[in-house]
C-alpha cells in the first residue's frame, strides 16, 4: 500500500512555510527591541564613565558632570513608591483572593483594571492635589505617592492572580488543622505564592521606573543632592527629558547615557525576577 | 473447654440500628451482646463520639443532606458509603465545621462531639477543628515546607514553639502514621518529594500531630495504588485503638475491610446504619443490599 | 507485610484444629466405650458432641464474615472455603462417633459375641486417616493427604469382609442378630468416618495445591 499520498508534498511545504512565517513574526517583534537596545548602547555607552555615576550635573554651559543625583533619586523614588504601593497592593490582592463577596470583588477588579489604563500624568495630577498643594512645594514624597499609586492596581491584580493559583487543597488542609484563617493566608498561602507576588511587585517597579509624566510636577527634579524627602528630588527620566530638549550636545550625550542606565536598571530588575523564579521549593508560581 | 471459644449462638433477626425515622441508639445492642467482635479488642465500645440529630444541610438552595440521625461510636472505624453525590462528603465536613466555609452553605440540626454541641453559639470553629482532624482525598503536603515542618505545622502555627516538644510530637506522629522508618533520615527534604502513598501518610501524621480525638478521612486512598491503599487500611486498623475514625469511601470493599460500623447514604438520606458485618452479610434494607452487591449505584 | 487479616486467618486455623482434636477424641472415646465396654464413656461422647456442633457453627460464621469483609483470593480463599468444608466433615465424624457410642451402649447390654478383631482394625485405619490428614494440614504435606485418600479402599474392604462374616453369623444363629446388626452398624459408621477423613484429605490437597482430586476413583 502506498503510504505517500499525492497531498503529502503539499502538506510538507505548507508546514514548512508556516514555520518560516512564525519565525519571521518572532523576529519582527524582537527586532525593534534589539535595535533600540543596540542604538542606546551605541549612543550612550561611551559616556558611561566614573564621573557620570558620581558627579552632579554641572551648571549650564560647562562640560562634564554626571547624573549621580538622578540615579540615586530614581532609586529613592522607587523605594518610596514601593513603601506605599506594595503593602496596599498585596493586601488588596489578598482581600480579593481570600475574602470579600462576589459583588464587591467584581467592582474592585473593575476599578483596578480601569486604573491600570489611566494615563500616568493623571496620577501626577492626583499627587499634585494631594501632596504638593498642602505641602506648598514639590517633594520626593509627592513623587513617591504618584508612582506608588500607579503601582497599586497592578500589584493588586498580579497578587490576586497568583494567590488564586495556589490550590485550594492547601487552604483546606490547613483549616482542618485548626489554624486561624489569617495565619493560613500569611504563613502558608502567601508563602507558597511568594515568588509570584515578588515577581508581580518587581514588574510593577520596572514599569514605574521609567515614568516621567507623573514626576513632572511632583518630584520636579533637582540639580543637587536632596537632603530631605520633603524637597524636590532628581530622577533619571526627568533628567533625561530636560537634557534631551536642551540645545547642548554635551547634555544630549548625557541624556543617552542616562537612558541607557535606566534601561539597564529595568533590565537588572527583570533578571532578578527570572533568578527568583528558580528555587528549591517551587510553589504556585509562573 | 477452653475459655477462648467465643459463643457461637446465631443471632436472632438483627433489627437495623437506625433508619431514617428511627431514633433508637445504634449501640444499644452492644450492651446485650457482651462479646467482642474481633479477638484483638477486649472491651466493647461504650462511648459515643458524635451524636448527630436531625442534620440537614444546603448549598445555597440545593439541599444535600436530609434529616440525618446517627451516633458514631468512639475508638472505632465508621464508614460512610453511598453512590456519588449522596452527601457523604458533605456530611463529613459538617462534623468538623468545614461545610460552613463554602459560600452560601447552610446547616440545620445538632451535632454533639463527646457531649458538646459543635455548633454552639460560643464555640470557636478553629478549636473544633483541632479536636477533629481531617485527611483529604488528594494529599496536600505544604510545598514550601520540609517533611519535619509539614508534620509540625499544626503545632507551630498554633503557638507551640519549644523545639524538644515539636521534635517529640513529630516523631510520635510519624511513627503512628507508619512513616517514620521511611523518612527518618531525610526529614528536611521537601514534603512533596515523597511518593503518593507516603504523602498521604505524611498528611495523616500532620493531622495526628495536633492530637485530635477524631480523625475524619475523605476517600483517603482513592488516589493511591493498591499497595499504598493497603498500607493506609492497615494503618487505620492500628489507629482505631486510640482514635475515633470516620471514613468516607466510594469503595465498598474498602468499607468492608476497614470499618466496624457502616452507614449507607443515598440522595442525602440515611438508608441503613449498622455493624459492618451485618451490612455486608445480611443488610436489612433492600436498597442497601442492591447497592453493596453492585446492582445499582 | 503482616496484615490484620493474617491474625484472623490464624485464629480460624486454631479453631479448626481444636475442632479436629475434639473429633479425634470423640472417635477414640466411642471406640474405647465399645472395646472396653465402658458405659460412662458412651454417655460422655454423646454430651461432647454438642461442642462439635457449636464449633461448626462458629467456624462457618467466621468464614462467612471473612469472605464478606476481606474479599480473600488465592490461598486465603481456598483456606477459608476448605475450612468450611472440613468443619462440616468433622462435625459428621462426630455424629458417627455418637452413633458408635449408641451402638456400644446397646452391645454392652449383651455378652460379647466374639473377640473384636476387625472392628478395631478398621478403627485404627480410620483414626490413622484422620490423624494423618490433620498432620498434612498442619505441616502442609499434600502428598501425605493424597496417600490418606488411597487408604479408604482398605477400610471399605474390611467393611465388606466384616459384613459377610456377620451375615453368616446371623444365618447360623438367629439369636445373634441384634448384636450382629449393631456390629454391622458400627462397621458402617467406621466406614463413613473413613470416607469423611478421605474428603478432608482431598480438601487439603485442594488447599495446598489448588488441584481438585475428588471423585477420581469411581
Which residues of chain B have a CB within 8 Å of the CB of A178?
126-131, 154, 158, 210
Q: What is the pLDDT of residues A161-175, one digit of tens each?
A: 999 999 999 999 999
Q: What is the pLDDT of residues A106-132, one digit of tens each?
A: 999 999 999 999 999 999 999 999 999
Are A71 and A12 contained in the same domain?
no
Helix, strand, coil percentages in chain C from 3-state DSSP, rounded to 5: 85, 0, 15
Q: In sequence order, what are the residues at sequence separation of 6 or more whose Cβ sits closer than 8 angstroms to the Cβ of residue B26?
A: B17, B18, B70, B71, B73, B261, B273, B274
Please state which of the ranges A249-258, C138-147, C157-166 shows the lowest mean pLDDT.
A249-258
Structurally, how many domains does chain C consist of? 1
Partners of B63 in the beta sheet? B58
CATH number of the domain residue C91 falls in: 1.20.58.220
Cell of A120: 500616568
Are A152 and A244 contained in the same domain?
yes
pLDDT reported for residue C55? 95
Q: What is the pLDDT of residues C88-120, one digit of tens each?
A: 999 999 999 999 999 999 998 888 888 888 899
Of B129, B143, B203, which has the smallest distance from its Cβ to A283's Cβ?
B143
Q: Is residue A282 part of a domain?
A: no
Q: Which of A77, A189, A56 is nearest to A138 (CA)?
A: A77
Of B101, B103, B207, which has the smallest distance from its Cβ to A177's Cβ?
B207
Sole residue written with cell 501518610 = B201
Structurally, how many domains does chain B consist of? 1
Helix (H, G, I), strand (E, B), or coil: what is residue A29? helix
pLDDT reported for residue B212? 95
Q: Cβ(C23)–Cβ(C94) under 8 Å?
A: yes
Min Cα separation A191/chain B (Å): 7
User: Using the 8-state DSSP alphabet, how is residue A188 labeled?
Assistant: I
Of C15, C55, C70, which has the smallest distance from its Cβ to B257's Cβ?
C70
Structurally, how many domains does chain A consist of? 2
- The stretch A149-154 carries a mean pLDDT of 95
pLDDT grade, residue A2 (50/70/90)?
low
pLDDT reported for residue A96? 94
Residue B237 to residue C1, Cβ atoms within 8 A: no
Are A200 and A80 contained in the same domain?
yes
Q: What is the pLDDT of residues B34-49, one digit of tens each?
A: 333 333 333 345 689 9
Q: Is residue C215 part of a domain?
A: no
Are A41 and A110 contained in the same domain?
no
**Is pLDDT at B18 greater than 50 in this prediction?**
no
Distance CA A208, CA B218 (A): 48
Q: Cβ(A233)–Cβ(A214) under 8 Å?
A: no
Min Cα separation C68/chain B (Å): 6
pLDDT reported for residue A49? 78
What is the residue range of A29's domain? Answer: 7-46
Q: Which of B8, B240, B252, B255 to mutate against chain C (most C CBs within 10 Å)?
A: B8
Please state which of the ranges A225-234, C44-53, C59-68 shows the lowest mean pLDDT.
A225-234
Q: Which of C123, C108, C93 is nearest to C38 (CA)?
A: C108
What is the residue range of B56's domain? Answer: 38-140+215-292
Cell of A92: 488588596
Residue B98 to residue A176, Cβ atoms within 8 A: yes
Cell of B261: 460500623
Which residues of chain C have a CB within 8 Å of the CB of B5?
15, 18, 54-55, 58
Are A39 and A144 contained in the same domain?
no
Distance CA C194, CA C199 (A): 9
Distance CA A71, CA B289 (A): 80
Cβ-based neighbour number of residue C187 at 10 Å: 25
CATH number of the domain residue B221 falls in: 3.40.50.300
Phi, then psi, of A276 in degrees rounded to 5: -65, -35
Of A178, A188, A280, which has the smallest distance from its Cβ to B129's Cβ?
A178
pLDDT reported for residue A252? 86
Are A120 and A22 contained in the same domain?
no
Distance CA A259, CA A267 (A): 12
Residue B253 to residue C71, Cβ atoms within 8 A: yes
Chain C positions contacting chain B at CB under 8 Å are 1, 3-5, 7-8, 11, 15, 18, 51, 54-55, 57-58, 61, 64-65, 68-71
Residue A280 to residue B190, Cβ atoms within 8 A: yes
Q: What is the pLDDT of residues A36-63, one digit of tens each?
A: 888 888 888 887 777 778 878 877 777 7
Q: Is residue C139 part of a domain?
A: yes
pLDDT grade, residue C39 (50/70/90)?
confident
What is the residue range of C97's domain? Answer: 4-209
Q: Which of B136, B135, B68 is nearest to B107 (CA)?
A: B68
Q: In sequence order, what are the residues at sequence separation of 6 or more whose Cβ sits closer than 8 angstroms to the Cβ of residue A160?
A: A92, A93, A96, A97, A109
Bridge-based pairing state of the strands B261-266 and B269-275: antiparallel
Partners of B51 in the beta sheet? B71, B112
Q: Which of B53, B133, B76, C68 is nearest to A174 (CA)?
A: B133
Interface of B with A in 25-54 (CB under 8 A): none
Chains C and A touch (3+ CB pairs under 8 A): no
Are A153 and A73 contained in the same domain?
yes
Q: Is residue C214 part of a domain?
A: no
Give the start-end residues of each E strand in C128-179. none
Distance CA A240, CA A245 (A): 9
Q: Is residue B7 part of a domain?
A: no
Q: Is residue A2 part of a domain?
A: no
Are A134 and A31 contained in the same domain?
no
Give percent above pLDDT 90 in chain A. 49
Q: Which of A234, A245, A222, A211 is nearest to A122 (CA)?
A: A211
Which residues of chain A have a CB within 8 Å of the CB of B60?
none
Q: Is residue B103 part of a domain?
A: yes
Q: Is residue B15 part of a domain?
A: no
Phi, then psi, of B77 in degrees rounded to 5: -105, 125
CA distances to A139, A216, B161, C108 from B175, rounded to whole Å, are 63, 66, 21, 68
Residue C69 to residue B257, Cβ atoms within 8 A: yes
Chains in contact with B via at least 3 Cβ–Cβ pairs below 8 Å: A, C
Mean pLDDT score across all residues of chain B: 85
pTM equals 0.79
pLDDT reported for residue B39? 37
Q: Which of A205, A219, A191, A217 is nearest to A89 (CA)?
A: A205
Which residues of chain B have a CB within 8 Å of the CB of A172?
98, 136, 140
pLDDT reported for residue A187? 92
Q: In sequence order, what are the residues at sequence separation of 6 or more whose Cβ sits closer than 8 angstroms to the Cβ of residue A189?
A: A98, A163, A166, A170, A171
Amino acid at each position: 500500500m502506498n503510504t505517500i499520498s499525492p497531498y503529502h508534498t503539499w502538506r510538507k511545504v505548507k508546514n514548512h512555510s508556516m514555520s518560516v512565517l512564525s519565525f519571521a513574526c518572532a523576529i519582527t517583534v524582537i527586532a525593534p527591541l534589539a535595535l533600540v537596545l543596540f542604538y542606546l548602547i551605541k549612543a550612550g555607552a561611551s559616556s558611561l564613565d566614573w564621573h557620570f555615576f558620581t558627579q552632579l550635573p554641572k551648571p549650564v554651559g560647562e562640560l562634564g558632570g554626571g547624573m549621580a543625583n538622578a540615579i540615586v533619586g530614581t532609586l529613592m523614588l522607587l523605594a518610596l513608591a514601593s513603601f506605599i504601593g506594595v503593602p496596599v497592593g498585596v493586601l488588596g490582592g489578598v482581600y480579593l483572593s481570600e475574602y470579600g463577596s462576589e459583588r464587591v470583588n467584581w467592582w474592585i477588579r473593575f476599578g483596578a483594571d480601569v486604573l491600570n489604563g489611566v494615563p500616568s500624568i493623571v496620577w501626577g495630577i492626583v499627587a499634585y492635589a494631594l501632596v504638593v498643594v498642602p505641602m506648598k512645594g514639590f517633594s520626593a514624597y509627592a513623587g513617591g505617592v504618584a508612582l506608588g499609586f500607579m503601582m497599586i492596581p497592578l500589584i493588586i491584580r498580579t497578587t490576586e492572580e497568583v494567590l488564586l493559583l495556589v490550590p485550594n487543597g492547601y487552604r483546606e488542609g490547613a483549616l482542618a488543622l485548626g489554624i486561624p484563617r489569617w495565619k493560613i493566608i500569611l504563613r502558608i498561602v502567601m508563602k507558597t505564592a511568594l515568588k509570584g507576588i515578588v515577581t508581580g511587585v518587581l514588574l510593577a517597579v520596572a514599569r514605574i521606573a521609567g515614568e516621567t509624566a507623573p514626576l513632572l510636577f511632583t518630584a520636579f527634579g533637582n540639580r543637587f543632592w536632596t537632603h530631605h524627602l520633603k524637597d524636590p528630588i532628581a530622577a533619571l527620566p526627568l533628567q533625561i527629558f530636560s537634557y534631551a530638549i536642551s540645545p547642548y550636545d554635551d547634555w544630549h550625550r548625557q541624556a543617552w547615557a542616562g537612558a541607557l542606565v535606566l534601561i539597564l536598571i529595568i533590565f537588572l530588575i527583570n533578571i532578578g525576577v527570572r533568578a527568583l523564579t528558580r528555587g528549591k521549593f517551587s510553589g504556585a508560581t509562573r | 473447654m477452653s475459655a477462648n471459644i467465643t459463643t457461637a449462638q446465631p443471632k436472632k433477626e438483627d433489627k437495623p440500628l437506625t433508619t431514617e425515622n428511627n431514633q433508637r441508639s445504634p449501640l444499644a445492642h452492644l450492651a446485650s451482646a457482651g462479646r467482642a467482635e474481633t479477638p484483638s479488642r477486649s472491651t466493647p465500645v461504650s462511648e459515643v463520639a458524635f451524636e448527630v440529630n436531625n442534620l440537614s444541610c444546603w448549598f445555597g438552595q440545593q439541599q444535600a443532606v436530609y434529616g440525618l440521625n446517627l451516633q458514631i461510636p468512639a475508638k472505632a472505624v465508621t464508614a460512610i458509603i453511598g453512590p456519588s453525590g449522596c452527601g457523604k462528603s458533605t456530611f463529613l465536613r459538617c462534623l468538623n465545621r468545614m461545610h460552613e466555609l463554602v459560600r452560601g452553605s447552610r446547616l440545620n440540626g445538632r451535632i454533639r462531639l463527646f457531649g458538646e454541641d459543635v455548633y454552639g453559639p460560643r464555640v470557636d470553629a478553629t478549636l473544633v477543628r483541632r479536636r477533629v482532624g481531617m485527611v483529604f482525598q488528594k494529599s496536600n503536603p505544604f510545598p514550601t515546607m520540609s517533611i519535619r515542618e509539614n508534620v509540625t505545622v499544626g503545632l507551630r502555627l498554633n503557638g507551640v514553639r519549644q523545639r524538644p516538644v515539636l521534635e517529640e510530637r513529630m516523631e510520635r506522629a510519624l511513627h503512628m502514621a507508619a512513616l517514620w522508618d521511611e523518612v527518618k533520615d531525610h526529614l528536611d527534604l521537601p514534603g512533596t518529594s515523597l511518593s503518593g502513598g507516603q504523602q498521604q501518610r505524611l498528611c495523616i501524621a500532620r493531622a495526628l500531630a495536633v492530637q485530635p480525638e477524631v480523625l475524619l478521612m475523605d476517600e483517603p486512598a482513592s488516589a493511591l495504588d493498591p499497595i499504598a491503599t493497603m498500607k493506609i487500611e492497615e494503618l487505620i486498623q492500628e489507629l482505631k485503638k486510640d482514635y475515633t475514625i470516620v471514613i468516607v469511601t466510594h469503595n465498598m470493599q474498602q468499607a468492608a475491610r476497614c470499618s466496624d460500623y457502616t452507614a449507607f447514604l443515598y440522595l442525602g438520606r440515611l438508608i441503613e446504619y449498622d455493624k459492618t458485618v451485618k451490612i455486608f452479610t445480611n443488610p436489612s434494607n433492600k436498597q442497601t443490599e442492591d447497592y453493596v452487591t453492585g446492582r445499582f449505584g | 507485610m503482616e496484615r490484620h487479616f493474617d491474625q484472623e486467618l490464624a485464629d480460624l486455623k486454631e479453631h479448626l484444629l481444636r475442632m479436629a482434636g475434639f473429633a479425634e477424641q470423640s472417635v477414640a472415646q466411642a471406640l474405647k466405650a465399645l472395646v472396653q465396654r465402658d458405659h460412662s464413656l458412651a454417655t460422655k461422647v454423646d454430651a461432647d458432641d454438642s461442642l462439635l456442633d457449636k464449633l461448626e457453627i462458629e467456624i462457618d460464621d467466621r468464614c462467612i464474615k471473612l469472605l464478606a469483609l476481606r474479599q480473600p483470593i488465592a490461598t486465603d480463599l481456598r483456606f477459608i472455603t476448605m475450612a468450611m468444608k472440613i468443619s462440616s466433615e468433622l462435625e459428621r465424624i462426630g455424629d458417627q462417633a455418637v452413633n458408635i457410642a449408641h451402638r456400644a451402649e446397646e452391645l454392652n447390654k449383651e455378652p460379647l459375641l466374639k473377640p473384636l478383631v476387625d472392628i478395631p482394625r478398621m478403627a485404627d485405619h480410620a483414626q490413622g486417616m484422620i490423624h494423618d490428614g490433620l498432620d498434612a494440614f498442619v505441616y502442609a504435606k499434600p502428598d501425605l493427604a493424597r496417600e490418606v485418600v488411597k487408604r479408604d479402599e482398605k477400610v471399605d474392604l474390611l467393611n465388606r469382609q466384616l459384613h459377610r462374616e456377620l451375615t453368616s453369623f446371623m444365618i447360623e444363629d438367629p439369636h445373634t442378630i441384634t448384636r450382629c446388626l449393631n456390629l454391622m452398624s458400627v462397621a458402617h459408621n467406621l466406614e463413613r468416618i473413613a470416607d469423611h477423613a478421605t474428603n478432608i484429605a482431598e480438601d487439603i490437597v485442594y488447599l495446598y495445591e489448588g488441584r481438585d482430586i475428588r471423585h477420581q476413583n469411581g
